[in-house]
């Protein structure tokens, strides 16, 4: 990586924050740490980092709350959810609030650095687990509030990409398997993320009218 990305670590366990900081080493610049929603909002607004590593379960209303409260004043900041919790609703909820990806806390240092780079570049980061959650969410097994079924359905191609990711394929392998370019894979992932994030009716309406569906 050519430039070092700036990062804020948000997690309510001090030991875990220290661990992540040590693991990231010099590859990124850690600007601040925060232990709850209020601290996190203050830190994000003050430092405007490239990427925020965000715990899903956070005192003060959960990780999603941080995204909602900083969204207006820190639009360029990207969020990567980092969690030990396996509750699908919470993970999907954080993604829907605006996080660009989700990785579990057992991720290795190099993988985490790679994921930070990807998120900073505006791409989505889907771990196999998240891909599984996404497929579940769109199949209706997980309850996700206010998903408009007709508009938010995944296309066949997007579903294929998600399934391959869930099977443990890397982006490159997905591209080779489906005979498409890596860029196209990234586009599909982006559109899956967008479909997940169209949360309120307003956004849905705007999205539809932009495409002249209304």
Partner 1 sequence: MSVPLTEARGDARAPRKAYRSPDEAILGGVAAGLAEHLGLPVLWVRVGFMALAVMGGFGVAFYAGLWMVLPSQRHFDDQAPGLAAAERQGKRPGRIRRLSDLGPLVATGAIALGVAVLFALVTGQGGLFWPVVLLVAGVALLWRQADEAQRERWLDSSGRINVVRSIVGVGGAASYLRLLLGGFLVVAAITLFSLASGDWAAARNVALAAILCFVGLGFIVGPWLFRLSSDLGEERAERIRSQERADVAAHLHDSVLQTLALIQKSAQDPATVARLARAQERDLRSWLFDSSGGDPTTFAAALRSIAGEVDDTYGVPVEVVCVGDPSVSEQLRPIVLATREAVVNAARHSGAGKVDVYAEAAPTGVEVFVRDRGAGFDPDAVAEDRHGVRDSIVERMRRHGGSAEIRSRPGEGTEVRLSQPLGSEQG
* Shortest CB 36 distance to partner 1, Å: 9
Of 122 and 140, CB closest to partner 1: 140
User: Nearest to residue 4, comparing CAs of 110, 122, 120?
Assistant: 120
Q: Which residue among 168, 181, 182, 183 contacts partner 1 (CB under 8 A)?
A: 168
Q: Which of 200, 203, 206, 213 binds partner 1 (CB under 8 A)?
A: 200
Q: Which of 140, 181, 183, 209 binds partner 1 (CB under 8 A)?
A: 140
Radius of gyration (C-alpha) of the chain in whole angstroms: 17
Report d(CA 34, CA 78) in Å as an integer.
16
Nearest to 131 by CA among 67, 68, 85, 196: 196
In 3D space, the residue among 10, 4, 70 whose CA is nearest the CA of residue 34 turns out to be 10
Count CB-CB contacts under 10 A for residue 62: 19
| Minimum CB distance to partner 1 smaller for 28 or for 169 | 169
- CB closer to partner 1 out of 120 and 135: 135
The mark string for 58-97 relative to partner 1 (x by CB under 8 A, - otherwise) is xxxxxxxx------------------xxxx--x--xx--x
Interatomic CA distance for residues 126 and 109, integer angstroms: 17
Interacting residues toward partner 1 by CB under 8 A: 12, 57-65, 84-87, 90, 93-94, 97, 106, 128-129, 131-132, 135-136, 139-141, 163, 166-169, 200-202
């Amino acid at each position: 990586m050519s430039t070092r990305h700036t990062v804020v670590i948000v997690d309510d366990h001090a030991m875990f924050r220290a661990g992540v900081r040590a693991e990231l080493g010099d590859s990124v610049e850690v600007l601040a740490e925060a232990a709850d929603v209020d601290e996190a909002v203050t830190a994000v607004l003050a430092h405007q980092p490239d990427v925020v590593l965000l715990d899903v379960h956070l005192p003060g209303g959960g990780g999603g709350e941080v995204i909602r409260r900083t969204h207006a004043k820190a639009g360029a900041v990207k969020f990567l959810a980092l969690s030990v919790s396996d509750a699908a609703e919470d993970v999907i909820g954080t993604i829907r609030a605006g996080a660009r990806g989700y990785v579990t806390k057992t991720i290795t240092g190099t993988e985490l650095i790679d994921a930070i780079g990807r998120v900073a570049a505006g791409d989505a980061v889907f771990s196999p687990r998240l891909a599984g959650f996404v497929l579940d969410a769109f199949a209706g097994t997980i309850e996700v509030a206010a998903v408009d079924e007709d508009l938010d359905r995944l296309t066949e191609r997007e579903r294929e990409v998600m399934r391959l990711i869930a099977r443990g394929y890397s982006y490159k392998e997905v591209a080779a398997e489906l005979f498409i370019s890596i860029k196209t894979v990234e586009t599909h992932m982006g559109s899956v993320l967008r479909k997940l994030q169209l949360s309120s009716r307003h956004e849905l309406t705007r999205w539809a009218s932009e495409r002249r569906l209304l």
